[in-house]
């Protein structure tokens, strides 16, 4: 038994894409976008669980499970998993975010069944071999070192930790050495049973595929007798007092990241923040780049960013500079914030920001992987309520300068920005 509906069939730039969504009897959602003018398919099996669904003691377990499923299932060992897809010229991988886990393949259209078969095997039949668990802990410890050595990535993790903690959105996706060391086979299976349930699974696919065939393969390879798990409510993070956090690491520069909590993906003001982010610090024509790098030469790298979760978001700025220039650079950043709040934005720079956002969206759709990920986010964030690209662009086009200024007035308050600074240690000077 299944329910099926065509969400949209619309021509874009003379090319037809068909969006369809089916809910299987056990609650698994299957959503696809047929793009007939390509030869490939990007296919993902998503699970609605991420590091924000963990507690402090098991932080990193979602990411660790993502690693471990590739080490062997009841049907295949690690080598056989890799060869099954690579024998047909495909690509198999996975990633974990703070809110979701995705296992995906990129394959030619004629191999759709093999793609769904191997992905279903990974999420339903992992064995979590005890010796394999201990070996993989060493791999993750090395991954943690890599993150800590990449200051640009590491400081982003530190910023979110200090903005959100003790809320789980502040937990690092990868976990910590202490938590990872404590993972056991029983803990992994307990987490899998709790969260890898039909009502949390979305199968999304984009490319040259037939939706009915995708549904048939899902019915064939996924256990329809699996029961749904408990209802896990995610708590919205509270806005906390801003902090200043300074550490030292061997480095030739200071790395600085500032940020504040703002609107989440479901908030309609997200489009306004997206435009504000673009004109402030996304690209070489942005205010921060022109003022701080081009005019004063204080930095090589500077940009703003806007990260969204279902119910919250972070707006911030990252830069790297000589330690002596950190305070001056921060002053100039907040001066630009103040200018937007008091003087607003120029109609021409807003139009440029709109063009950048629209182009980024449309160019991104040339990637089947991006389309596949977009479909999954429609399910997880917007409960399957599809908005076409034309509708999104129309929303952005309607935004006026005074509306962006109003949003800027709400979020660009210096006292609300947490600051994280990694300064060069004395030995590295």
Active-site positions read: 66
Dist. CA 383–CA 265, nearest whole Å: 12
Alpha helices in 196-269 (DSSP H): 211-221
Residue 161 · residue 314 · CB < 8 Å: no
Residue 391 · residue 12 · CB < 8 Å: no
Q: 383-416: buried (b, 16+ CB within 10 Å) or exposed (e) per residue?
A: ebebeebeeeeeebeebebebbbebbeebbebeb
> Which residue do the tokens 């803990």 mark?
187
Residue 318 · residue 333 · CB < 8 Å: no
Residue 156: closest CA among 388, 372, 364, 315: 315
Dist. CA 405–CA 12, nearest whole Å: 33
Q: Is the dihedral of CA 424, 425, 426, 429 positive or negative?
A: negative
Q: Is the dihedral of CA 384, 389, 390, 393 positive or negative?
A: positive
* Residue 370 DSSP symbol: H
Dist. CA 232–CA 260, nearest whole Å: 26
* Interacting residues of 178 by C-beta distance below 8 A, sequence separation 6+: none
Q: 206-244: buried (b, 16+ CB within 10 Å) or exposed (e) per residue?
A: bbbbebeebbebbbeebeeebeeeeeeebeebeeeebee
Dist. CA 249–CA 246, nearest whole Å: 10
299 φ, ψ (degrees, to nearest 5) = -140, 165
Give the three-class secondary structure for 215.
Answer: helix
């Amino acid at each position: 038994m299944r329910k099926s509906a065509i969400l949209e069939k619309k021509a874009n730039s003379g090319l037809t894409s068909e969006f369809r969504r089916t809910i299987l009897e056990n609650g698994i959602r299957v959503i696809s976008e047929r793009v007939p003018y390509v030869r490939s398919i990007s296919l993902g099996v998503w699970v609605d669980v991420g590091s924000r669904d963990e507690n402090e003691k098991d932080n990193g377990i979602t990411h660790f499970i993502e690693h471990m499923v590739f080490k062997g299932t009841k049907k295949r060992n690690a080598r056989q998993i890799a060869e099954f897809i690579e024998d047909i010229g495909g690509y198999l991988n996975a990633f974990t975010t703070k809110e979701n886990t995705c296992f995906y393949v990129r394959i030619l259209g004629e191999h759709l069944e093999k793609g769904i078969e191997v992905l279903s095997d990974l999420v339903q039949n992992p064995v979590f071999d005890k010796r394999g668990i201990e070996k993989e802990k060493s791999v993750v410890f090395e991954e943690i070192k890599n993150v800590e050595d990449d200051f640009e990535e590491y400081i982003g993790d530190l910023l979110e930790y200090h903005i959100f903690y003790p809320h789980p959105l502040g937990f690092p996706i990868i976990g910590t050495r202490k938590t990872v060391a404590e993972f056991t086979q029983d803990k992994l299976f307990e987490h899998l049973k709790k969260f890898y349930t039909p009502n949390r699974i979305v199968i999304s696919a984009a490319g040259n595929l037939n939706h009915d065939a995708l549904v048939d393969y899902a019915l064939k390879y996924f256990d329809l007798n699996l029961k749904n798990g408990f209802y896990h409510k995610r708590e919205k993070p509270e806005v906390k007092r801003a902090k200043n956090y300074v550490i030292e690491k061997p480095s030739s520069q200071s790395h600085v990241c500032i940020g504040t909590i703002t609107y989440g993906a479901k908030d309609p003001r997200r489009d306004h923040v997206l435009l504000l982010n673009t004109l402030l610090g996304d690209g070489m024509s942005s205010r921060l780049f022109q003022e701080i790098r081009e005019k004063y030469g204080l930095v090589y790298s500077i940009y703003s960013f806007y990260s969204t979760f279902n119910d919250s978001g972070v707006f911030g700025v990252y830069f790297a500079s000589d330690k002596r220039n950190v305070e001056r650079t921060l002053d100039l950043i907040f001066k630009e914030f103040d200018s937007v709040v008091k003087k607003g934005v120029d109609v021409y720079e807003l139009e440029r920001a709109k063009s950048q956002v629209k182009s980024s969206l449309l160019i991104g759709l040339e990637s089947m992987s991006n389309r596949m990920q977009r479909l999954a986010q429609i399910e997880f964030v917007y409960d399957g309520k599809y908005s076409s690209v034309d509708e999104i662009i129309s929303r952005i086009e309607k935004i006026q300068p005074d509306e962006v200024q109003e949003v800027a007035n709400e979020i660009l308050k210096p006292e609300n920005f947490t600051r994280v600074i990694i300064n060069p240690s004395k030995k590295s000077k």
